[in-house]
Amino acid sequence: MNVLVTGGAGFIGSHAILRLMEDGHTVTSIDDFSRGNRGAIAALRAVGPFEFVEGDVGDRALMATLMRDRGIDLVMHFAAKAYVGESMDIPLTYYATNTSASIALLQAMDDAGVERIVFSSTCASYGEPPADRVPIREDCPQRPINPYGYSKWFVERVLFDHGRAKREAGRPFGFACLRYFNVAGNDQKSRLGEDHRPETHLIPICLEAALGHRKSITVFGTDYATPDGTCIRDYVHVSDLIDAHITVMSALGPGDERTYNIGIGDGSSVREVIEATRDVTGRAFEVIEGPRRAGDPPMLYADSSKIRDELGWVAKHTDLRGIIDDAWRWRQVHPHGYGEQ
């Protein structure tokens, strides 16, 4: 299959390219490097051939030409900004990058006659579900509490409306929205890693502290209604997440409208992640308790039984320490991320 991966220089997008190449698919990718990492593209080129274009997913003409020229069968759309706190400060940027650019991409797909997309959505679209709705099922009301969550939820709404219009026009359009939770770990052969600039994800922040690159880490909020007072999140291994994308891609047919939660079905608190990182690395680091951040719900973890029952996908990596250990192995070889290469 000819697959276009948007945001291919990012953490998740690069892992998608790796898996697609290993499975024998023809891959084209695009990234504007506003958040992606050139080192990830270099690492992928060492594995195998794929076409990479530096450009803007929101450029309709560019995207339509690229899809026509490459004979694209399906799009995996990862390109986005994904920092909750930042989205509170610069919401217009999030709506432009995540929502408007996705609409332009869909228009380009229409121009090029590409009729299938797997969309990288988010658990942030659920907002702050009541305790009796956790673990979260796909039928939980989507009520975002930050611009990041809204920017992704709007794209889901656009996909359903676009799918209906295409169906009524006799040109069925297939899409899947994968609402995933916190993604961690890395390629188990340590060819790719997690290296955001700036880094806001808890596990790599803890690893940076263990390496001595941070003087301390801050726990944002210790008074949540959780067992230890800190936020609880579902950490899914990036390899499992990409396996879910491949599974959905293979099953996605004309006119399909699919939504799936992707997670392990259990949550770990911020304090538990810190202690697990200390155990895995054997290193201590300072922890500072700070105030809550705006837009952070106390508890988010998935019920992923729908994709299990419909497509047979289940997470294989469910041990938090194992997930952290995978990330730690890459960080020991690349202590400053891709900047070392």
User: What CATH number should be reported for the domain holding residue 254?
Assistant: 3.40.50.720
pLDDT on residue 294: 73
pLDDT on residue 341: 38
For residues 254 and 174, is the Cβ–Cβ distance under 8 A?
Answer: yes
Q: What is the mean pLDDT of residues 312-339?
A: 94
Q: What is the mean pLDDT of residues 138-166?
A: 97
Q: What is the mean pLDDT of residues 293-322?
A: 92
- Average pLDDT over the chain reads 95
pLDDT 10s digits, 34-72 = 999 999 999 999 999 999 999 999 999 999 999 999 999
Tell me, yes or no, whether 14 lies in a domain: yes
Q: Quote the number of domains for the chain.
A: 1
DSSP 29-89: EEE-SSS--HHHHHHHHTT---EEEE--TT-HHHHHHHHHHHT--EEEE------HHHHHH
For residues 276 and 320, is the Cβ–Cβ distance under 8 A?
Answer: yes
Tell me, yes or no, whether 138 lies in a domain: yes
If pLDDT is split at 50, 70 and 90, which confidence band does 340 have? very low
Both tokens assigned to 149: 């969550």
Tell me, yes or no, whether 63 lies in a domain: yes
Cβ neighbors of 181 (< 8 A, separation 6 or more) are: 123, 233, 234, 235, 236, 261, 262, 263, 300, 301, 302
Q: Which domain holds residue 249?
A: 2-184+236-263
Tell me, yes or no, whether 196 lies in a domain: no
If pLDDT is split at 50, 70 and 90, which confidence band does 293 have? confident
- pTM, to two decimals: 0.95
Tell me, yes or no, whether 131 lies in a domain: yes
The SS3 assignment for 235 reads strand
The per-residue b/e assignment along 22-53, b for 16 or more CB within 10 angstroms, e otherwise, is eeebbbbbbbbeebbbebbbebbeeeeebebe
Tell me, yes or no, whether 223 lies in a domain: no
pLDDT on residue 296: 78
Instruction: Report the share of the chain in percent with pLDDT over 70.
Output: 99
pLDDT 10s digits, 171-197 = 999 999 999 989 999 998 989 999 988
Cβ neighbors of 187 (< 8 A, separation 6 or more) are: 15, 18, 193, 238, 239, 330
Gap between the Cα atoms of 326 and 130, Å rounded: 33
Residue 9 DSSP class: T
DSSP 115-135: -EEEEEEEGGGG-S--GGG-S
pLDDT 10s digits, 234-274 = 999 999 999 999 999 999 999 999 999 999 999 999 999 99
**211 has pLDDT over 60:** yes
148 part of the active site? yes
pLDDT 10s digits, 87-127 = 999 999 999 999 999 999 999 999 999 999 999 999 999 99
The SS3 assignment for 6 reads strand
Cβ neighbors of 196 (< 8 A, separation 6 or more) are: 11, 35, 204
pLDDT on residue 197: 82
For residues 68 and 125, is the Cβ–Cβ distance under 8 A?
Answer: no
Gap between the Cα atoms of 190 and 274, Å rounded: 22
Gap between the Cα atoms of 50 and 122, Å rounded: 27
pLDDT on residue 175: 98
What DSSP element (H or E) covers 3?
Answer: strand 2-6
Identified catalytic residue from 83, 94, 95, 148: 148
Residue 292 DSSP class: P
pLDDT on residue 200: 86
Tell me, yes or no, whether 174 lies in a domain: yes
Query: CA angle, corner 185, sides to 181 and 187, nearest 5?
Result: 120
Tell me, yes or no, whether 312 lies in a domain: no
